[in-house]
Structure 1
Amino acid sequence: MAITWKGVFPALTTKFTAADELDLTLFSRNLDAQLEAGVEGIILGGSLGEASVITTEEKATLVKHAVKQIAGRVPVVINIAEGATREALRQATLAEEWGASGLMLLPPMRYKSDARETVEYFRTIARSTSLPIMLYNNPVDYKTEITLDMFEELSAEKNIEAVKESTRDVTNVIRMQNRFGDRFKILCGVDTLTLEELVTGADGLVAGLVCAFPVETVKLYKLIKAGKIQEALPLYRWFMPLLELDIHPKLVQYIKLAETRAGIGSEYVRAPRLTLVGEERERILKVIDHAIATRP
């Protein structure tokens, strides 16, 4: 399936049972809510999906289950975040076998590759697969920046089509467009910059709080892209305390708690993560419950 790389792409959480197994029933309930809200693609196995602690077998189960449930309505993108090029290549091959529509690709994990190594890593994987690829540019969390010069080198790889823009520098959207025009589609990857990056020309967003609030996320996207900024601003102001849950090291626990309160998720996480307790849990619940009580 071709991917247009626009609209809202939820970075879905991975649902677990109390026994630490995949909860496909709850996963399906959340996926239905996303599709009904009008998302234009989904991403599995990302940071929010607890990529570092799910197995290859679990990824296969999630992708195949999603592909079957979605039945061609939107593309299914699987994240690749590996330390070795060899393993990333294996994951790319498996993704095609599982029926994924595309890949989201991070720089090498654990080892901080330099520019030459990072470009070669991306180029090698791109040339190994027919799947379209979105690069994930997040130097804040992953310490490797994909610079404009690196994108210049990678522009020759036709299936590298998009970037998840998470540099936290809104002006990078403008810089990308000034240099490359529409060669690369740009998806905002930081929830708290949704309006700013969409206004400056981003094509869509890879969102986190959409996992709990899909209707509001899609509505915000549509208002902004329609140029209805004055209508979008009250919704964005209401949303902001929730969106800030996406930029914390415990974003998984915070967003899973929000999903739970919204009725489309659970708090179960996989160790070494632990569910929230005490003052921290009460503080995050206060933010979530206030938003639910005052939702537009």
Structure 2
Amino acid sequence: MSDFGRLLTAMVTPFNAEFEIDYEKTEELIEHLIKTGTDTIVVGGSTGEPASLSMDEKLRLFKFAVERAQGRVKIIAGTGTNDTRSSIRLTRKAQQTGIDGVLLVAPYYNKPSQEGLYQHFKSIAANTDLPVVLYNIPGRSAVNISTETLLRLSRIENITAIKEASGDLSKVGYLIENVPPGFKIYSGDDSLALPILSIGGYGVISVASHIAGSEIKGLITAYLKGRVKEAAETHRQLLPIFEGLFIAANPSPVKFALSEHGINVGTVRLPLVSLTEGEAKHITEIMGQLKEVGRGISR
């Protein structure tokens, strides 16, 4: 089984003033994420605006991330779409860029049955020898991969993990109890990272780690070393950041937060829009609070 570490970042896609991918800022962002504790970078996941990227843009971005990471962190490519054949084509091409794994989101819009979901993921996994991370996010895909379907999929050899963003802790607990040894459960929500760790989950695929990577890594380390009270305190301190970054559609808030953090990754492509004045003010306020977090964290 592959190990992508405990803290994975679902990276934003930087754009320039013409809304083209800004590779200079992408390199700067990759370096920032590595320095602040990210173990694996997910490129072209939901936070990377994949629905607004062409296949050629995705493939160039995957290759660029691999080249700049230089093996210091692993790179997972978001190759899932709502069309199985397109997902297979993208996954095959992505593998040639040197990525370490793929992230497959539940097919959005067309609302497949549970059997359709199973066959979709099974078919894509059969067309790559890379590790596959499933991504269950019913809030965006309009379909929830059931516990039973996930357990069936977990028995496929190269399906090695899931990013679970349904918010259902009972489901997560049942999965942890019943998946094969080595299959990893990642929280897809920053605010549930510690609760999921506490019931046996492995880590988090994070948005907030763009601006609070060191603090989140400290939280995870504290918990794993038995400093539960410290981890819980950090979790509570970070909650305003976790929640504030979803005051508007992701990734508009985190892109603005990065600019406040000194890394200007541009804004979002339509149909997403920039933050309102009130939303921007709220992000600025929580960024101020971030300075007070983590001072008591032991590394």
Q: Shared fold by TM > 0.5?
A: yes
Q: Deviations over 1:64-100 (max 9, x none)?
A: 1111111122221011231211101111111111111
**SS, match of residue 136 in structure 1:** strand
Alpha carbons 2:10, 2:205 under 8 Å: kept: yes
1:119 and 2:118 matched: yes
Structure 2: distance between partners of 1:294 and 1:85: 43
Structure 2: distance between partners of 1:142 and 1:179: 25
Using the TM superposition, give the Cα deviation of residue 143 of structure 1 relative to its aligned residue in structure 2, in angstroms.
Answer: 2.2
In structure 1, the partner of 2:269 is 270
Alpha carbons 1:191, 1:246 under 8 Å: kept: no
Alpha carbons 2:245, 2:283 under 8 Å: kept: no
In structure 2, the partner of 1:71 is 70
Using the TM superposition, give the Cα deviation of residue 133 of structure 1 relative to its aligned residue in structure 2, in angstroms.
Answer: 0.2
Alpha carbons 1:199, 1:225 under 8 Å: kept: no
1:94 and 2:93 matched: yes
Segment drifting more, 276-285 vs 52-61: 276-285
In structure 2, the partner of 1:110 is 109
1:154 and 2:153 matched: yes
Using the TM superposition, give the Cα deviation of residue 58 of structure 1 relative to its aligned residue in structure 2, in angstroms.
Answer: 1.5
**SS, match of residue 128 in structure 1:** coil
**TM-score, reference length from structure 2:** 0.92
In structure 1, the partner of 2:141 is 142
Matched residue type, 1:199? S
In structure 2, the partner of 1:130 is 129
- CA RMSD, aligned part only? 1.8
Structure 2: distance between partners of 1:93 and 1:122: 14
Using the TM superposition, give the Cα deviation of residue 14 of structure 1 relative to its aligned residue in structure 2, in angstroms.
Answer: 0.3
Alpha carbons 2:14, 2:25 under 8 Å: kept: yes
Matched residue type, 1:100? I
Structure 1: distance between partners of 2:245 and 2:174: 25
Alpha carbons 2:39, 2:74 under 8 Å: kept: yes
In structure 2, the partner of 1:19 is 18
Segment drifting more, 63-72 vs 140-149: 140-149
Q: Deviations over 1:191-226 (max 9, x none)?
A: 111111111111111000101222112111211222
Stretches of structure 2 that go unaligned for 5 or more consecutive residues are none
Alpha carbons 2:13, 2:265 under 8 Å: kept: no
**SS, match of residue 39 in structure 1:** coil
Using the TM superposition, give the Cα deviation of residue 227 of structure 1 relative to its aligned residue in structure 2, in angstroms.
Answer: 2.0
Percent identity over the alignment is 27
In structure 2, the partner of 1:175 is 174
In structure 1, the partner of 2:28 is 29
Matched ranges for 1:254-293 at <5 A: 254-292=253-291
Runs of 4+ residues deviating >6 angstroms: none
In structure 1, the partner of 2:61 is 62
Matched residue type, 2:114? A
1:3 and 2:2 matched: yes
In structure 2, the partner of 1:47 is 46
Segment drifting more, 28-37 vs 46-55: 28-37
Using the TM superposition, give the Cα deviation of residue 30 of structure 1 relative to its aligned residue in structure 2, in angstroms.
Answer: 1.5
Question: Taking structure 1 as reference, are residues 21 and 267 closer, same or farther at Cα in structure 2, changes over 3 Å only?
Answer: closer
**TM-score, reference length from structure 1:** 0.93
Question: Between Structure 1 and Structure 2, how many residues are aligned?
Answer: 295
Stretches of structure 1 that go unaligned for 5 or more consecutive residues are none
Q: Deviations over 1:35-63 (max 9, x none)?
A: 12232111011111111101112212211
Structure 1: distance between partners of 2:142 and 2:109: 10
